[in-house]
A and B are shown apart, each in its own frame.
Chain A
C-alpha cells in the first residue's frame, strides 16, 4: 500500500483573471489580464501602483461563510483559500463529512506566506490604543498561519493531516508534493492541496520597498507584467488562491471520479544560500538539481517533457531560469519544450503562485492546449539566444500533449518542481 498512484480529481481557483474554473480556463486561453490600477497603492505612495486581485462579489463570498464568520472576517487570503478549496472539493464530487464523524481518509496541505495581514494590523492598532479587550475571539484564528487550513478543515470535516506549509513563492508546488507523498505512502486517500496569498498594501509593501516590483507601467496596468520581455522591469504583485484535490488512483476509480491528470512525482530542495544562491537569488545548481531529481522521481526522461510552466516572474532572473531549465533538461535551442508563464496575465501571486499555476498546468494537460505568453512581443535576446522563439508561444496552441513540468522558486533559495501527466482513461 505504500506506492499508490496519485491523480488529480478536483480543481478550484480564485485568481485575478478568473474565480471559477470555466472563467479561468477562458481567461488563460485568451491571455486575459487580471492586473489593474490600485487606488490604495497610489494613495500610499507605492512605486508600483498596479496589482492583481481576484474579483469576488459579496453574494459569492456569502455562499462560503456564515453571517457570523463574515461579521469579523478581515483576511483576504482566507477568503480566497476557502473559496478555491471548497470549490475543488465540490468539483471532485466529494462530500463534507457528516456532523458526528470526521473523514479520517481526507486532509489538507493549504499553504500561505502570512495570514490575515489586515486583521493583524487592526489588532495591533487596538492593542496600541489600550483596547486589547476589544479584540474579541477572531484575531488568532485569522492571523495564525494555519488559519486557512483550519477553516477549510472545519467546513469539510477533514480527519487526516491538516497543515499549512510555507516556503515563500514555492509554497503552492510544495503543498501539492506534500499531498502527493501522503497519498502515495497510503496514509490518506484524498488530500486538498493549495495555497493562498493576501491582497493589499501591507502584504505587497515589503516587495515594493525592495524595488523588485515594476514602477514603469502604472499608466498601463495590463502591460505591466512582462516576463521574458526585453522591457521586463520587475514583477507585478498579485494575490488569490488555487486548490487541487489529489486522490489515490484506486479511490478515484472506485468512485468513478473524473480524472484531470496524474502526478508522476517531483522534488523540493534548497540551494542553501551557497554558491550563487542568496536569500533572494537562486543557486542555479540547486534549481537544476531540483528539476533533474523531479524527472528521475517521476520515472520519465527529460525528452518526454513537452511543456514547461515556468516560474518566470519578469525580473532580471528570467533568462537565468531558462538557462537552468535548458541545462537540467539537456536540451538544445530547438528541441527545448514549449514554455509559458501565467505571470504576464495575473502578476506574481507570491505564496499562491504555485497553486494557481498548477491549476493552469492541469487544465492545459486535461483540455489539450498551451496558453499564450503575454506581454513578451519584445522577447529578451538573453532568452532567445538560449532557446528558439517558437518555444515561447504568444498565441494559444491547441494541442494534446502528455507530460508537463512545473516549477516554482522562492526566497530563501528554495525550489519545487512537479511532473504531471495527462490521464488517459485506462
Chain B
C-alpha cells in the first residue's frame, strides 16, 4: 500500500470524527488532527483503534503518542505494515 492509498484510507477513518469538511477534503501530509481537522483530543485514541482494525496492525503507546498529524501517522502505519510484511 503506497502513501496515497494510506492517506485516502485515513480520510475515511477520520471522517466521522471531524466536522471540518473542507480540511478533510484537502487532507495531505501536513494536516494536523487537532489544529486543522478539529478532532476532539479524546477521540485520538478512537482513531488509532480504527486504524489498527483497518490496517490489521498493532500500535504501541510510544507510536500512538506521535500520531498527531497525517505525516507521522502515515510513517507509523508504513513502518508497521513493513514489519508485518517482513
B-chain residues with CB within 8 Å of residue A138 when the two chains form the complex:
46
CB of B16 within 8 A of CB of A136, answer no
Question: How many residues of A sit at the interface, in one of the four size bands?
Answer: under 10
Could you tell me the distance in whole angstroms from the C-beta of A129 to the nearest C-beta in chain B? Answer: 15
A71 at the interface (CB under 8 A from B): yes
CB of B42 within 8 A of CB of A137, answer yes
B-chain residues with CB within 8 Å of residue A133 when the two chains form the complex:
49
A138-B44 Cα distance, complex, nearest whole Å = 12
CB of B16 within 8 A of CB of A68, answer yes
B-chain residues with CB within 8 Å of residue A136 when the two chains form the complex:
45-46, 49
Could you tell me the distance in whole angstroms from the C-beta of A150 to the nearest C-beta in chain B? Answer: 13
Identify the closest chain A residue to B19 (Cβ).
A66
Within 8 A of A (CB), among B14-44: 16-17, 42-43
Could you tell me the distance in whole angstroms from the C-beta of A414 to the nearest C-beta in chain B? Answer: 35
Which residue in B16, B43, B49 is a CB contact (below 8 Å) of A134? Answer: B49
A138-B17 Cα distance, complex, nearest whole Å = 13
Could you tell me the distance in whole angstroms from the C-beta of B7 to the nearest C-beta in chain A? Answer: 21
A45 at the interface (CB under 8 A from B): no
A22 at the interface (CB under 8 A from B): no
CB of B16 within 8 A of CB of A137, answer no
Identify the closest chain B residue to A138 (Cβ).
B46
Identify the closest chain B residue to A71 (Cβ).
B16
A-chain residues with CB within 8 Å of residue B42 when the two chains form the complex:
137
CB of B16 within 8 A of CB of A67, answer yes
Could you tell me the distance in whole angstroms from the C-beta of A320 to the nearest C-beta in chain B? Answer: 49
B-chain residues with CB within 8 Å of residue A71 when the two chains form the complex:
16
A422-B77 Cα distance, complex, nearest whole Å = 65
B-chain residues with CB within 8 Å of residue A134 when the two chains form the complex:
49
Chain A 97-133 near chain B by CB (<8 Å), digits 1 or 0: 0000000000000000000000000000000000001
A134-B59 Cα distance, complex, nearest whole Å = 11
A136-B46 Cα distance, complex, nearest whole Å = 5
Could you tell me the distance in whole angstroms from the C-beta of A340 to the nearest C-beta in chain B? Answer: 46
Identify the closest chain B residue to A67 (Cβ).
B16
A-chain residues with CB within 8 Å of residue B45 when the two chains form the complex:
136-137
Could you tell me the distance in whole angstroms from the C-beta of B12 to the nearest C-beta in chain A? Answer: 14
B-chain residues with CB within 8 Å of residue A137 when the two chains form the complex:
42-43, 45-46
A-chain residues with CB within 8 Å of residue B16 when the two chains form the complex:
67-68, 71
Within 8 A of B (CB), among A60-77: 67-68, 71-72
B-chain residues with CB within 8 Å of residue A72 when the two chains form the complex:
46
B-chain residues with CB within 8 Å of residue A67 when the two chains form the complex:
16
Chain B 1-18 near chain A by CB (<8 Å), digits 1 or 0: 000000000000000110
A72-B42 Cα distance, complex, nearest whole Å = 14
Within 8 A of B (CB), among A388-403: none
A67-B18 Cα distance, complex, nearest whole Å = 11
A47-B49 Cα distance, complex, nearest whole Å = 40
Identify the closest chain B residue to A68 (Cβ).
B16
Could you tell me the distance in whole angstroms from the C-beta of A65 to the nearest C-beta in chain B? Answer: 12
Interface residues of B (CB under 8 A from A): 16-17, 42-43, 45-46, 49
A-B CB contact pairs (8 Å), 16 listed: A67-B16, A68-B16, A68-B17, A68-B43, A71-B16, A72-B46, A133-B49, A134-B49, A136-B45, A136-B46, A136-B49, A137-B42, A137-B43, A137-B45, A137-B46, A138-B46
Which 3 interchain pairs have the tightest Cβ spacing? A137-B42, A68-B16, A136-B46
Known: A137-B42, A137-B46. 14 other contacts (CB 8 A): A67-B16, A68-B16, A68-B17, A68-B43, A71-B16, A72-B46, A133-B49, A134-B49, A136-B45, A136-B46, A136-B49, A137-B43, A137-B45, A138-B46
